[in-house]
Structure 1
Amino acid sequence: MEKYRFNVFGDILLIERRDLAWRCFAVGADGKLGPVDLAVPSEVSHEELPQYLYDIFHEGASLSDGDIFEIL
């Protein structure tokens, strides 16, 4: 199983790949995970995730919210 964390305009998302499916979770300030209703197509690669997330979330972000980047 692959797991990746992204800062998405100030919110933290954990995206994991299990078999061929992506699952998305919001990471709370306490570290708890909550499911996110976000369908990521199975053909999206790890390298394409930042652009995919940008395409989905950019309209709801303000200029002060920053950008999208992977948390290593």
Structure 2
Amino acid sequence: MPDEYLFDVFGRIIAVATNNDGWVAFQLGQEGKRRRAEFEIPSFVAADELAQYLDDLFHEDATPSRPCVTQL
């Protein structure tokens, strides 16, 4: 299992990493900086469910050109 997963969340790049308590999410800026995301991912979400969880959480941000969350 990788230590970090990258997702395109309707145009925003989100990194999701494992930690002792489960998951921690970071928003990646265009300049390469990362900051802690302002949402939590419950520890019971499995790695193969992360994209669907993010899609469900941010579905209001979907557009015709970006209809779903994709793993990078």
TM-score, normalized by the shorter chain, greater than 0.5: yes
CA contact (8 A) 2:10 2:61 kept: no
Tell me the CA shift for residue 38 of structure 1. 1.1
Tell me the CA shift for residue 46 of structure 1. 0.7
Superposition TM-score, scaled by structure 1 size:
0.87
CA RMSD of aligned residues (A): 1.5
Superposition TM-score, scaled by structure 2 size:
0.87
- Paired AA for residue 46 in structure 2: S
CA contact (8 A) 1:10 1:66 kept: no
1-side partners of 2:33 and 2:13: how far apart?
Answer: 11
What are the residue-to-residue correspondences of 1:7-18 with 2, within 5 Å? 7-18=8-19
1:34-68 residue CA offsets vs partner (Å, 9 max, x unmatched):
11111111010110001000000011222233421
Alignment identity in percent?
35
Unpaired segments of 5 or more residues in structure 2?
A: none
Unpaired segments of 5 or more residues in structure 1?
A: none
Match of 2:7 in 1: 6
Instruction: Tell me which moved more, 41-50 or 18-27.
Output: 18-27
